[in-house]
Structure 1
Amino acid sequence: MTNGAETRVRQSRAKILAAAEDVFLRHGFLGANMDAVADVAGVSKQTVYAHGKSKEALFIQVVESMTGDAAEDIGEDEEDDFAGVTAGQFFLDAGTQQLLVVMTPRLMRLRRLVIGEVERFPELGHSLYENGVKRSVARYARAVEHFDRIGELRCDDHAAAANHFNWLLMGAPTNSAMFLGDAGIPSNNALEAHAQESVRIFLAAFRSAS
């Protein structure tokens, strides 16, 4: 395949995934169909099937793409540079970034959709967990290990401390958005304030006495 052909295939796939995301988030899995995806994408149904094979396969692609993109936006796969950064500043910056990326109508609708379909597509719940909670906790665990090693934090179980921070940070805003819909998503100012309070509580529990 030539470079030009490869580029067209990538562009076509991106267009179809964007259209499928729109259709699935608006109508749910059962209410969506490939004709609607083709209409939104402005391509033939045959082209949609060429990329997605089936509605089920296309749904899985959409979920994996959205969760992967969110993880990339947060920077969870990158090695953090802790040089010259205090524990408080790291967790405040990382926590605020996570909230502002995740707490959006788009990703909260995806979360509700995946939870609603987890019995039909258990692999989607696994994907959401692997690309969401697991990556976040792993990143925070690396940070806890670093700040424990240099004496700024003190804890025996780095992963447990990271998990505590992640749920301090995400628990209340996520519950609000899940049960109340888009209207339950806090404002950016409220999310920033919540991140500050989460860090304060976390440091009160784990900051070194020295």
Structure 2
Amino acid sequence: MNASLKPKPQGPGRPKDMEKRALILDAARNLFAQSSFNGTSMDAVAAAAGVSKLTVYSHFGDKDNLFREVIRAHVQDKLPAELFTKRPEVGIRDILTEIAQRHALAETNADTVGAFRAIMSDCQQGNPRFGRLVWEEGPARMQKLVAELLQRAVDDGELQIENVSRASGQFLALLKGDMVLRRLFGCEDCKYEFAEEVSATAAAAVDMFIRAYGPR
């Protein structure tokens, strides 16, 4: 048989590796939310994912990096970087509205609030590293993406902003209103009405932002 026609041996392959990575991330996300950073071991993650601890380490290196990747994957799933792309055919109000709606829903999601409770628990136990990792991959990433979007809108003459970095923080703060705190303290009475209010708050935030920074 011609050597070029011989069937190639089937190794582990990239798809299998990516499948294991996804299983590990999913297991870690659930365990971090349930048991916090300090209460989650790499052994527990490996057992929950159905892989060896060596496999977990080979994919992520250490627990800090695993946690960072969990947060990064969660944020990218809810608010992909492509969402912050300035498109010539779409006005800045429409782009900000889509970001506002998706960000507000992500921030008030029960899983997100549960993670926030876990962060506070770890910080109170003297482990601020956990909170810093969340800050870097969550709020800091969001503010950077919003700032880049706003700067492009300023360059295109759609907005007038002197301090883009400050304005990006203001925009993200407007989206939350008191929604996150109400979810955190379990004060919403009707889930449907709460979801409607989250959406209305996000829309009002965009209106206020555009009135403040729209061209004069």
Cα distance in structure 1, aligned partners of 2:204 and 2:15: 46
Cα distance in structure 1, aligned partners of 2:174 and 2:105: 15
- The alignment status of 1:14 with 2:22, answered yes or no, reads yes
Cα distance in structure 1, aligned partners of 2:148 and 2:205: 18
Higher deviation after alignment, 5-14 or 112-121: 5-14
Higher deviation after alignment, 78-87 or 196-205: 78-87
Aligned-residue offset at 1:12: 3.3
Query: Identity percentage over the alignment?
Result: 20
Cα distance in structure 2, aligned partners of 1:135 and 1:77: 13
1:65 to 65, 69, 79: 69
State how 1:1-210 maps to structure 2 within 5 Å: 3-4=11-12, 7-29=15-37, 32=40, 37=45, 40-43=48-51, 47-48=52-53, 51-52=56-57, 57-58=62-63, 60-73=64-77, 74-76=79-81, 80-118=85-123, 120-180=126-186, 187-209=194-216
Question: Normalising by the residue count of structure 1, what TM-score does the alignment of the two structures yield?
Answer: 0.76
The size of the alignment, in residue pairs, is: 201
Q: CA RMSD in A?
A: 3.2
1:121–1:182: structure 2 CA closer, same or farther, 3 Å change rule?
A: farther
The amino acid that maps onto 1:113 is A
Describe the SS at the equivalent of 2:211.
helix
- What 5-or-longer segments of structure 1 have no aligned partner? none
1:121–1:38: structure 2 CA closer, same or farther, 3 Å change rule?
A: same
Residues 35-84 of structure 1, C-alpha deviation per residue, up to 9 Å, x if partnerless? 654554345xxx2365259xxx44x3453123201332212377613302
Describe the SS at the equivalent of 2:12.
helix
1:12–1:184: structure 2 CA closer, same or farther, 3 Å change rule?
A: farther
Aligned-residue offset at 1:146: 2.4
Cα distance in structure 2, aligned partners of 1:49 and 1:70: 24
Higher deviation after alignment, 104-113 or 62-71: 62-71
| Contact 1:100 1:191 (C-alpha < 8 Å) held by counterparts | yes
| Contact 1:34 1:48 (C-alpha < 8 Å) held by counterparts | yes
- What 5-or-longer segments of structure 2 have no aligned partner? 1-9
Cα distance in structure 2, aligned partners of 1:34 and 1:135: 26
1:19–1:67: structure 2 CA closer, same or farther, 3 Å change rule?
A: closer
Aligned-residue offset at 1:131: 1.4
Larger radius of gyration: 2
Which has the larger share of helix? 1
Aligned-residue offset at 1:191: 2.1
Question: Normalising by the residue count of structure 2, what TM-score does the alignment of the two structures yield?
Answer: 0.75
Cα distance in structure 2, aligned partners of 1:203 and 1:94: 14
Higher deviation after alignment, 27-36 or 86-95: 27-36
Residues 116-147 of structure 1, C-alpha deviation per residue, up to 9 Å, x if partnerless? 21364333222211111112112221222222
